[in-house]
Amino acid sequence: MSASSKYSAEQIQVLEGLEPVRKRPGMYIGSTDLRGLHHLVKEVVDNSIDEALAGYAKNIWTVLHEENYVTVADDGRGIPVEIHPKVGVSALEVIMTTLHAGGKFGDGGYKVSTGLHGVGVSAVNALSDYLRAEVRREGKEYFQEYSKGKAKSKVALTAKDTSLPFKTNFVWQVKNGTKTTFLADKTIFSTITPDFEKLEKQLKQVAYLVAGIFFHLYDERTGQERHFYFQSGLATLIKHLNRNKALIHPEPILIHKVVEGIDVEAAIQYNDGFNENVESFANVVPTIEGGSHLTGFRIALTRAINDYARKIEALKEKDENLTGEDIKEGLTAVISIKMDSDKIQFESQTKEKLGNAEAQPIVAQVVKDGLDMFFEENPQDARKIMEKVLLAARARAAARAAKDAVIRKGALEGMTLPGKLADCQNRDASQSELYIVEGDSAGGSAKQGRDRKFQAILPLRGKILNTERARLDKVLEFEEIKALVIALGTGIGDTVDYNKTRYHRIIIMTDADVDGEHIRTLLLTFFFRYLPEIINKGYMYIAQPPLYKVQKGKEIHYAYSDEERDKILKQLKGNKATKDDVILGSEATPEPDVEDSGQARMTKSPGIIIQRYKGLGEMNPDQLWETTMNPENRILKQVTIEDVSATDEVFTMLMGDEVPPRKRFIQTHAKLATLDI
């Protein structure tokens, strides 16, 4: 029997207890919001993935029960239950109740592991109000229950008539395996209700990376279920990331090789877009901040393309080398490495950046060799990639000239600021905010109503360019975008510097109509494609102006939705609202009790006037300040990106050149649209 298959209590090493996890949960799972809750699920799933990577599990089940209980099960070997020789209690209890205890530290546990630090399932236990672990080994089933990380009883054989605190229809039909059910501690988490769709994306991503393993997701609350199995792994993931995009070469470039114990896998495919989408993973963990493996990949890609460009004389002797910026355009790639769990190093507990220096030259070598071979064997595809990259290089040179012109123009206007910008007095970016306002009329009201100490106003005239379909040189030819870039102070393109951002709250304020929605989408497209760190740093917000003004005598209320309007009406009329309390649209025929103010139609109920705002320009400066700009009572929605690839896919589909995907989306979601006509 091989060392790796001898999985027993002797292989479990103990380092420390669980109290630090409950005291500082953010250090171990990143946050205590929905993302942190899903991280608990991920930690338990990761244990099952380790069994799969070791070759012992073929199925992983995730079940969402009523009342927020979650079960994760597998058909692996099952956690050892015999007495640990050093601690004197069951190995199962050691793993579940001790930080840094697991089969990932000593020899013979796991060769490749997703959970470097070993806090995984023990951290889940520490942060759960209830946890039940069940193990099947050698024809017997054992269990142990815990609360807030502490065992409620000793490990025992499961009785047939066991009563559980949750209801379930899930039947676990395996000979060997581990099943964990937990209920997150509501005193620690802001929400303990898991989100099916987000977990679906999370598990699907892992399924791409662990080819040949079945993932099953059941939601007993709604009856939904999903099943994932990808035999071709990264090739399928690349095709998914590039769907709805016109491709430069039909099939992905696939590279896979093991060097010095590091398993390197990469998939590369170019599309005719202008944006890059590169994802990296280490031991199946997404490395959002990249690391040494991603650096090695980029070095290899740049060298391989430059070498081939000179070989076919697409680059002459006098020409400069292509840069990483040139090679990024239209690139979709996934780089995934697997290595010994006792050697892998992450730069944070949440494992967002790989720190192993030795991975960089190995990844660079494997990717460079793989690309050289592909270019040699597929000259037609290679030439198409070269043409794409060379076109990007020429566009970059044009964009640099355009950008320099923007900077020069800005300098001539004095301190690089455009004339239409009403800047704030404060020079501390963390205390300053910029309102990007639709139209000169609303811009005028905003300039008069603002607090000039910390609020700057930049009015935009009309709709800006759709930057999804334009390179940087074309983007910078558009006057409104020029003004925005100069006002922000970040620069743009290859010399962008986010430390120079002049405002740490950048607020889009548009009308609550179709045109306003479109302008907002165009602005978000620009920021996502050309200044994404503005969003990632949490600087981007959407203002929420009110839809209605409800007035009874001198008493004025503002409503931000139809529901809020109805609630205010009931309060003003003593909960006796009638069907006549409605707002007439702009196309409605005036009735006797309706006055037209010249700004918006108003419906008068006895003693009550309801005004429907169609645009920001209908508000005077005081109203705009009171409802939308006063920090004490305004409503701002922060813009965040939870899933970069999914966001990229949506922008490509909604704002790109391909019509059929957009048409399908509109047809599918038409009934969900809110129309203001």
Catalytic annotation, residues: 438, 511, 513, 515
Using a 10 angstrom Cβ sphere, with 0-12 exposed, 13-18 middle and 19 or more buried, the burial of residue 456 is: buried
Q: How far is CA 171 from CA 134, 140, 179, 218, 454, in A?
A: 13, 16, 11, 12, 60
205's tokens: 């991503």
DSSP letters along 187-219, please? TT-S-----HHHHHHHHHHHHHHSTT-EEEEEE
Amino acid at 645: S
Using a 10 angstrom Cβ sphere, with 0-12 exposed, 13-18 middle and 19 or more buried, the burial of residue 202 is: buried
Using a 10 angstrom Cβ sphere, with 0-12 exposed, 13-18 middle and 19 or more buried, the burial of residue 642 is: exposed
Nearest of 631, 240, 587, 246 to residue 450 by alpha carbon: 631
Q: Which residue is associated with the tokens 């010249």?
A: 598
Q: What is the distance between the alpha carbons of residues 535 and 437, in angstroms, rounded to a whole number? A: 18
Count of beta carbons in the 10 Å neighbourhood of residue 500: 11
Can you state the angle between helices 196-209 and 234-241, rounded to 10 degrees? 130
- Outline where DSSP puts E strands in 24-127: 59-64, 70-74
Can you state the angle between helices 659-669 and 644-655, rounded to 10 degrees? 100
The three-state secondary structure class of 262 is: strand
The span from the first CA to the last CA of the chain, in angstroms, equals 73
Residue 247 DSSP label: B
Q: Where is 123: in which H helix or E strand? A: helix 120-126
> Which residues does residue 262 pair with via DSSP β-bridges, in sequence order?
259
